[in-house]
Amino acid sequence: MELLDNLALGFSVAFLVQNVLYCFVGVLLGTAVGVLPGIGPTATVALLLPITFSFEPVTALIMLAGIYYGAQYGGSTTAILINVPGESSSAVTALDGHEMARQGRAGAALATAAVGSFIAGTVATVALAVAAPPLARVALKFGPAEYFSLVLFGLIVSIALARGTALKALAMIALGVLLGTVGQDIYTGTPRFVFGQRELYGGIDFVSVAVGMFGVAEILRNLENEQTRAAVISKVRNLWPTREDRRRIVGPILRGTGLGAALGVLPGGGHVLASFTSYALEKRISKRPQEFGRGAIEGVAGPESANNAAAQTSFIPLLTLGLPAHPVMALMVGAFIVHGITPGPNVLTDEPALFWGLIASMWIGNVLLLLLNLPLVGFWVRMLRIPYQVLFPMIILFAAIGTYSLGFNAYDVYAIAFFGILGYTLIKCGCEPAPLLLGFVLGPLLEENLRRALIISRGDASVFLTRPISAVLLALAVAALVLAVLPTIHKRREVVFAEDE
């Protein structure tokens, strides 16, 4: 009964006119950036973060969340129609989805992706509503030692799931943690790494780092590799799958939903890993494995369900523990903080309307996405014809204006340019910026809990090993680090992310 009362509170918040409106705006923008290759939800959320500061907290978070899970829907459209995944997790959908389109079955592929995504999103939202409260209550019992070990475990697991070598991912996390220490010491007020710059005494602005590293850097990379993309498919017909198709997609949708819901909580690229793992599973258990890569509808249903379920459950560690599972969730942490809310288990008790309103809005968003995607297929494909040299300068202009408007300080705009160039340089060196952002967000939390634990224990470092939960988390962190550097695991990571490159 308590769960039903909480959901009733959530829907009463989510169905407010302004929240439904901004949920619609969020999923619409998310679908658009999912369709347009090279922009992605991380860059979009980073670029739009300044605009949301004048919103009510729940409204801002509903819109930003809609952008993220909306992009998972949109990425499948171009993957199926023109073999260009708009979002990394949709890369595997292109393998069979585009083959179906070439065979004149684009409508069935698009409908399968949309229905599978809706079912997975709905089930994952229920899982989020059921799992989040008990997990939050457990997290309230965590002390500084447990939180330090938990944050460390999250950072190590993100190394194991990052693309590229484990050493580069570790270096990016270390750089992110280092950037997070810039400013005044949290206990003594002593300036650290400010180099005499007054603007750095308050630390490096999160929005400048996010917009630069993911917005500007990604734009520079795409301008370098600009390609002309044109739709190669005529009008889509027969949007509803046949009876045989419906029989074949039930199992993959259910398996993909379960797999995605479980993998979505993992730090790193859980939604990408979920879609590739689902495809591999469906191919292995299929009675017709030879059809995969040649238009097997299971190769669309499973991965699309998996990545959308993972997109929803990735909110579980954010809402219950205050830990971001990947870069978009790190940006959501920033959104919480700038609205004066500390993400973590206290959100459930201190801000129940926000907590349950955000969860309820995800179901509304999934309904809106189902209604948006299929009727507007032609519109999404025409968006691909917008020249990059027109689209990207406008994006940078609005990002600079939005960031400047936060504090009316030109230094923030210079910081965007600096981190944009730094992010582009790191990409060219084969380093993924995502672990850097996770390190930047979690670094201060790591430091604060380390020092609090040592102060409480009067400098006794064994406190991290004598407290059972902390010891277990540290053991898991060590195991994850060992797995990340093992040659066999490294090769499997390369295979998993090969399509994403």
Q: Select from 41, 121, 26 the least CA-distant residue to 86.
A: 41
Asked if 183 and 165 touch (Cβ cutoff 8 Å), the reply is: no
What is the average per-residue pLDDT within 307-329?
82
Domain boundaries, the chain: 2-498
Per DSSP, the three-state class of 192 is strand
pLDDT band of 287, cuts 50, 70, 90? confident
Q: What is the pLDDT of residues 123-166, one digit of tens each?
A: 888 888 888 888 877 777 788 998 899 888 878 877 765 666 77
The fraction of the chain above a pLDDT of 70, given in percent, is 86
- Contact partners, residue 106, CB within 8 Å, separation at least 6: 80, 81, 100, 233, 236
pLDDT band of 383, cuts 50, 70, 90? low
pLDDT for residue 100: 84
Q: What is the pLDDT of residues 32-62, one digit of tens each?
A: 877 776 566 777 787 788 778 888 899 999 9
Q: Which residue has the higher pLDDT, 401 or 360?
A: 360
Q: 183 vs 33, 175, 191, 200, 290, CA distance in Å?
A: 35, 15, 6, 6, 58
Using CA atoms, how far apart are residues 72 and 34, in angstroms rounded to an integer?
6
What is the average per-residue pLDDT within 390-398?
76
Fill in the DSSP letter of residue 89. Answer: G
pLDDT for residue 254: 92
Summary mean pLDDT of the chain: 81
Using CA atoms, how far apart are residues 360 and 62, in angstroms rounded to an integer?
10
pLDDT band of 1, cuts 50, 70, 90? low
Asked if 263 and 273 touch (Cβ cutoff 8 Å), the reply is: yes
Residue for token pair 């379920």: 309
What is the average per-residue pLDDT within 171-180?
91
Q: Which two tokens stand for residue 174?
A: 């270390």
Using CA atoms, how far apart are residues 158 and 324, in angstroms rounded to an integer?
10
Asked if 86 and 78 touch (Cβ cutoff 8 Å), the reply is: yes
pLDDT for residue 239: 66
Neighbouring CB atoms inside 10 A of 194's CB total 15
Burial class (CB in 10 A: 0-12, 13-18, 19+), 243: exposed
pLDDT for residue 481: 82
pLDDT band of 390, cuts 50, 70, 90? confident
Residue for token pair 């990947």: 326
pLDDT for residue 284: 81
Residue 492 has pLDDT above 80, yes or no: no
Residue 21 has pLDDT above 90, yes or no: yes
Question: Which residues share a beta bridge with 184?
Answer: 191
DSSP 3-state helix, strand, coil percentages of the chain (rounded to 5)?
A: 75, 0, 25
pLDDT for residue 499: 42
The answer to pTM > 0.75 is: no
What is the average per-residue pLDDT within 284-291?
82
Choice among 169-178, 199-208, 380-389, 393-402 with the minimum mean pLDDT: 380-389
Q: What is the pLDDT of residues 209-264, one digit of tens each?
A: 877 887 788 778 777 765 544 444 445 666 677 788 888 888 899 999 998 888 78
pLDDT for residue 70: 83
Choice among 178-187, 198-207, 285-294, 485-494 with the minimum mean pLDDT: 485-494
Q: Select from 306, 352, 360, 274 the least CA-distant residue to 65.
A: 360
Residue for token pair 């940078």: 396
pLDDT for residue 25: 92
What is the average per-residue pLDDT within 454-459?
90
pLDDT for residue 231: 46
pLDDT for residue 18: 93
pLDDT for residue 263: 79
Q: Which residue has the higher pLDDT, 71 or 160?
A: 71
Using CA atoms, how far apart are residues 354 and 125, in angstroms rounded to an integer?
15
pLDDT band of 484, cuts 50, 70, 90? confident
Q: What is the pLDDT of residues 428-454, one digit of tens each?
A: 888 878 788 878 888 888 898 899 999
Q: What is the pLDDT of residues 106-129, one digit of tens each?
A: 888 888 888 888 888 888 888 888
Q: What is the pLDDT of residues 342-371, one digit of tens each?
A: 888 888 888 889 989 998 998 899 888 888
Q: Which two tokens stand for residue 93?
A: 């959908």
Q: Phi and psi at residue 340, in whole multiples of 5°? A: 80, 20
Using CA atoms, how far apart are residues 300 and 116, in angstroms rounded to an integer?
9
Asked if 434 and 235 touch (Cβ cutoff 8 Å), the reply is: no
- Contact partners, residue 405, CB within 8 Å, separation at least 6: 50
